[in-house]
């Protein structure tokens, strides 16, 4: 069975999906077969094959081979609202066991599965469960995407503490430059590197071209991710 890890973010709109795609590409460059999973998605678009999540489509496109959309993206909701509200409106219960069963199927097919959460660590998926419960129930280590912008230090440190307090292992974090003109970017980055014990897996610049994205893939540090594979590869 393949390895797996969970991607969360310091907030919504911090580039989790983009960083997830870059990590998938980086792992593939190391010879691993990789699949993505988006267990819960809101803000979906009605399509010929049901509700379509742009995030899930990006993960499907980056995968090593095609898989059934409903397997990797079992819960989809149209309103662009918190998943617990969207699920309540749709009279749907998000079943963690169903998500776990789907993940196991994906892990039987690939060397590595990246599971992308929705929103931040405590984004609710029901009246009494959140993304932290999902990651914990799947027993997955975590990678945190930090959206580099004003307020990122507080959001990042709170997220790190929350992940650790939830009993999950933080494999590392990625600094994603979502605001290209962030003041004192290097100082903010240095502060995070000094205060977060887990390693920084990479600094993703503000991406404005395919060439920049490809270069960002090569700069990612996978030392804590590669050992999750069934037969760990050298970095």
**Per-residue pLDDT tens digits for 61-92:** 999 999 999 999 999 999 999 999 999 999 99
Contact indicator for 145, 171 with CB cutoff of 8 Å = no
Identify the three-state secondary structure at position 179. coil
Q: What φ, ψ does residue 53 adopt, rounded to 5°?
A: -100, 125
> Token digits for 209?
């071209």
Percent of the chain's residues with pLDDT above 70: 97
What pLDDT is recorded for position 213? Answer: 78
Domain encompassing residue 172: 3-228
What pLDDT is recorded for position 207? Answer: 79
Q: For residue 227, is pLDDT > 90?
A: yes
Higher pLDDT, 171 or 235: 171
Of the pLDDT bands very low, low, confident and very high (cuts 50, 70, 90), residue 7 is: very high
DSSP letter string, 42-108: -S-EEETTEEE-HHHHHHHHHSSS---HHHH--EE-SSSS-HHHHHHHTT----HHHHHHHHHHHHT
Asked whether residue 213 is assigned to any structural domain, the reply reads yes
Asked whether residue 234 is assigned to any structural domain, the reply reads no
Asked whether residue 118 is assigned to any structural domain, the reply reads yes
Q: How many CB atoms lie within 10 A of CB 127?
A: 8
Asked whether residue 235 is assigned to any structural domain, the reply reads no
Asked whether residue 233 is assigned to any structural domain, the reply reads no
How many domains is the chain built from? Answer: 1
Q: Could you give the residue numbers annotated as active site?
A: 38
Of the pLDDT bands very low, low, confident and very high (cuts 50, 70, 90), residue 201 is: very high
Average pLDDT over residues 108-130: 96
How many Å from the N-terminal Cα to the C-terminal Cα in the chain?
21
Give 120-156 pLDDT, tens digit per residue: 999 999 999 999 999 999 999 999 999 999 999 999 9
Q: What does the mean pLDDT of the chain come to?
A: 94
Asked whether residue 210 is assigned to any structural domain, the reply reads yes
Q: What pTM does this model have? A: 0.94
Of the pLDDT bands very low, low, confident and very high (cuts 50, 70, 90), residue 184 is: very high
What pLDDT is recorded for position 215? Answer: 85
Q: For residue 48, is pLDDT > 90?
A: no
What is the CATH classification number for the domain harbouring 157? 3.40.50.300
Asked whether residue 139 is assigned to any structural domain, the reply reads yes
Of the pLDDT bands very low, low, confident and very high (cuts 50, 70, 90), residue 173 is: very high
- Residue 29, C-beta contacts closer than 8 angstroms, at least 6 positions apart: 217, 218
What pLDDT is recorded for position 49? Answer: 80
Range in 35-44, 49-58, 208-217 with the lowest mean pLDDT: 208-217
């Amino acid at each position: 069975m393949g390895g797996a890890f969970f991607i969360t973010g310091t907030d919504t709109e911090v580039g989790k999906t983009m960083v997830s795609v870059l990590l998938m590409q980086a792992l593939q460059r190391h010879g691993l077969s990789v699949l993505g999973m988006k267990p819960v998605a809101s803000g979906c678009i009605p399509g010929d094959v049901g509700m379509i999540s742009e995030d899930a489509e990006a993960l499907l496109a980056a995968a090593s081979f095609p898989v059934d959309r409903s397997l990797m993206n079992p819960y989809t909701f149209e309103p662009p609202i918190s998943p617990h509200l969207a699920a309540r409106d749709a009279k749907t219960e998000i079943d963690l066991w169903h998500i776990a069963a789907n993940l196991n199927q994906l892990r039987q097919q690939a060397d590595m599965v990246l599971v992308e959460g929705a929103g931040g660590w405590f984004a609710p998926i029901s009246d009494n469960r959140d993304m932290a419960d999902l990651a914990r129930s799947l027993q997955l280590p975590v990678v945190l995407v930090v959206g580099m912008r004003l307020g990122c230090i507080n959001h990042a440190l709170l997220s790190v503490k929350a992940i650790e307090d939830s009993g999950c292992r933080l494999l590392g974090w990625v600094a994603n430059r979502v605001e290209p003109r962030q003041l004192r970017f290097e100082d903010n980055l240095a502060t995070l590197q000094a205060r977060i014990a887990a390693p920084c897996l990479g600094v993703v610049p503000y991406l404005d071209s395919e060439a920049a994205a490809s270069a960002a893939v090569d700069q990612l540090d996978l030392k804590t991710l590669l050992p999750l594979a069934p037969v760990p590869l050298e970095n």
